[in-house]
Amino acid sequence: MGEVIAEVMLLGLAVAASPFPIIPAILLLFTPRARATSLGFLAGWVLGIVVGTGLFIALATAIEKLDEPPTWASWTRMVLGVLLLVLGVLRWRNRRAKQEIPAWMQSIDSISPAKALRLGVLLSAANPKVLLLAGAAGLAIGSAQLNTAGIVLATTAFTVVASSTVALPVLLYAVVGDRILVPLAGLRTWLQENNAAVMSVVITVIGAVLLVKGIGGL
């Protein structure tokens, strides 16, 4: 159980270290309905993480029920590791390329809480990098033959860690209010300038870890 928790928390840290979801969470704090929209985005982000992870848990659990699944988990880890390594290298090579501002970011000032919730789900459940990491976490949980309480605990650990950097500015704003906006503005600028470089390093490291773990399990 401890090994599974450690693995999913590492994967959760990889999701949390991505600047991609933190930027919209901070941008929403500068909108007219900051508290409602940011909380809606956080709820959508958590929901997307839970759903994505849960699907892979269900898939892994179903495969584990087959008579002879001795190496499938290791091979799947290796495939996920290679995919993350490729994504990491591509992101690093294109880190200095000028990126157009997404349409949703351009209209974020007028977004409603309901749309913010949908945006959170979309950016977590439909983002390839996040989905690969959630898939790796679901694989680790579903293939570990845990009981229901263990599955819930491991999923919760992954979700809490993966959502921590999105939750932090939202919860700080809920407690402190507008005083937190000045330091967050500087953080937002830094993240926008270094998004690609940070994400490429994170997913490359996690990809290497998964690849090595998969090879070791064969």
Is the pLDDT score of 68 beyond 60? no
- Quick one: pLDDT at residue 120? 92
pLDDT above 90 covers what percent of the chain? Answer: 26
Q: CA angle 100-187-21, nearest 5°?
A: 55
Phi, psi angle pair for 100, to nearest 5° = -75, 145
Query: Which has more confidence, 198 or 98?
Result: 198
Query: Which has more confidence, 107 or 171?
Result: 171
Mean pLDDT, the chain, whole residue set:
83
pLDDT level of residue 70 (50, 70, 90 thresholds): low
The pLDDT of 70-92, averaged and rounded, is: 80
Q: How many domains does the chain have?
A: 1
Rounded to 10 deg, the angle between the 128-142 and 148-176 helix axes is 140
Q: Which domain holds residue 123?
A: 2-216
User: Is 192 within 8 Å of 43 (Cβ atoms)?
Assistant: no
The pLDDT of 22-42, averaged and rounded, is: 89
The pLDDT of 77-81, averaged and rounded, is: 83
- Quick one: pLDDT at residue 141? 92
User: Is 159 within 8 Å of 12 (Cβ atoms)?
Assistant: yes
